[in-house]
Structure 1
Amino acid sequence: MTERFDCHYCKESLFGKKYILREENAYCVKCYESLYSNTCEECKKPIACDNKDLSYKDRHWHEACFHCFQCKRSLADKPFAAKDDQLLCTDCYSNEYSSKCQSCKKTIIPGTRKMEYKGNSWHETCFICHRCQQPIGTKSFIPKDNENYCVPCYEKQFAMHCVQCKKAITTGGVTYHDQPWHKECFLCTGCKIPLTGQRFTSRDEFAYCLDCFSNLYAKKCAACANPITGLGGTKYISFEERQWHNDCFNCKKCSISLVGRGFLTERDDILCPECGKNL
């Protein structure tokens, strides 16, 4: 007795008929298409077994229905892009959605390398230095007057050069006597510490920190022998080519302050009138 060979679903005999195996079960073409065929996204009809089923992200099309949403050209075996669930050929996608190169004004094809800066886009080969006309690529650049410059060209054309080291100043810097300096090059003439951010003074056009200036040039108090800088509102008394800090200008004997009062001198000593009258 011959063993039966029936459709797993409708039970009709499959002898002499075309059938399809699925998970070791045989189906007639009609049942298989009814149960398992995908529906075409374009025409909404089932994709028959003898038709090619093209899929993208769990969506399916007949080969003839797999075309560009705008120009209707077939996308089978061709590159394409998707936008809002619509499939577009690269030409239509570029014309509709791709950014335009700021330099050549042509479309930047999706997937090609591009440069972006402040909302504008360039082909990689169009993003060039305004001075040397070479592509900047991934190198650093400096914008000026709506143009972009590679760092060497910017330094040659625009940057000031430090009076001390003669190199270009690209960021920050200090101006002293109308001349530019790097912050790290603007140092005390005496001790060589950086002067940026602290008080300093000058002599013969050379800059000094307050300590060096006081030690080198300030006159010494006749009483305490410490420098009298006169900086920052420091008050002092001057008499016969000698100077005193206000706080040091006291009677030699009784130590009373003589600031704003009369005084007498005995040799190099300063005395109040009371102490002086006993001399």
Structure 2
Amino acid sequence: MSEAFDCAKCSESLYGRKYIQTDDGPYCVPCYDNTFANTCAECQQLIGHDSRELFYEDRHFHEGCFRCCRCQRSLADEPFTCQDSELLCNDCYCSAFSSQCSACGETVMPGSRKLEYGGQTWHEHCFLCSGCEQPLGSRSFVPDKGAHYCVPCYENKFAPRCARCSKTLTQGGVTYRDQPWHRECLVCTGCQTPLAGQQFTSRDDDPYCVDCFGELFAPKCSSCKRPITEHPVRIPSLGPDPSPLPPLPED
């Protein structure tokens, strides 16, 4: 009489049937799956012994159930991301959660270099100076009405220019006859002494220090022979919004 060869779970004979051997004994296929198989987190069905099983963060999946929750692309052999317990392929993740470049409109891929300013995002190579169109990168820039300029382009385009040398004034400066001047450019027409912060007067729009004006143009006192000069003026420094000077005395 042959020895019994029964399923360790249901005790049915396994002679002539497919079975799976375990440390606890042999199991018929249905009993084995019911006892040991994991439940698919997607379809809630058992993952049979003959199915390819995928595992991610304490969740088990049939191979066919392991897919992007948006486009349904299989993630079995694809890079993916988990967002709020949902599996997403890289394309869907970038489309849903990544920023769009304000210049080219393309997605700024996770991990790529990007620049952010004023609530907007750019690819590093798309963030360009509105003047020279060179990448700004980590360089200093000046925003102006939605545009962005490197410092040289901004100064060349917007900074005031000296009435004498026509070069830009980046800081400091003085105002004379409602025009900006470099402090070093506003000098006495006669002796070339700097006039910024000093008392001076003018003739034919040319500024003169008090001494030169007196020597060159002022009438001389018949008694002491010294020049009789008008009241000179003192010019203010050029601020962010310089105010015009009062009219100069007539010659």
TM superposition score category, shorter chain reference: 0.5 to 0.7
Q: CA deviation at 1:13?
A: 9.1
For residues 85-124 of structure 1, the aligned pairs below 5 Å read: 85-124=85-124
Superposition CA RMSD, Å: 4.2
* Distance change in 2, residues 1:156/1:44 (3 Å): same
1:132 alignment counterpart = 132
For residues 224-239 of structure 1, the aligned pairs below 5 Å read: none
Check the 8 A contact 1:90/1:110 in 2, yes or no. no
Max radius of gyration: which structure?
1
* Distance change in 2, residues 1:202/1:122 (3 Å): closer
Q: Secondary structure in 2 aligned to 1:154?
A: helix
More strand by share: 1
Q: CA deviation at 1:69?
A: 1.5
1:243 alignment counterpart = none
Q: CA deviation at 1:32?
A: 5.0
1:68 alignment counterpart = 68
| Paired AA for residue 20 in structure 2 | Y
- The alignment status of 1:19 with 2:32, answered yes or no, reads no
Q: CA deviation at 1:96?
A: 3.1
Q: Structure 1-normalised TM-score? A: 0.49
| Paired AA for residue 100 in structure 2 | K
* Distance change in 2, residues 1:153/1:202 (3 Å): closer
1:193 alignment counterpart = none
Q: CA deviation at 1:54?
A: 1.6
Aligned length: 179
- The alignment status of 1:57 with 2:52, answered yes or no, reads no
Q: CA deviation at 1:119?
A: 1.1
* Distance change in 2, residues 1:177/1:137 (3 Å): closer
* Distance change in 2, residues 1:152/1:202 (3 Å): closer
2:37 alignment counterpart = 37
Q: CA deviation at 1:40?
A: 1.1
| Paired AA for residue 76 in structure 2 | A
- Structure 2 distance, partners of 1:140, 1:20, is 71
* Distance change in 2, residues 1:142/1:74 (3 Å): same
Structure 2: gaps (5+ residues): 185-195, 201-251
Which deviates more, 136-145 or 36-45? 136-145
Structure 1: gaps (5+ residues): 186-200, 206-279
Which deviates more, 147-156 or 6-15? 6-15
Deviations 1:127-183 (A, max 9, x none): 1111222222233322122111233433443346899xx8973xxx5454465789x
Query: Which structure ranks higher in relative contact order (CA pairs < 8 Å, sequence separation ≥ 6)?
Result: 2
Taking every aligned residue pair, what percent have the same amino acid on both sides?
A: 44
Check the 8 A contact 1:20/1:32 in 2, yes or no. no
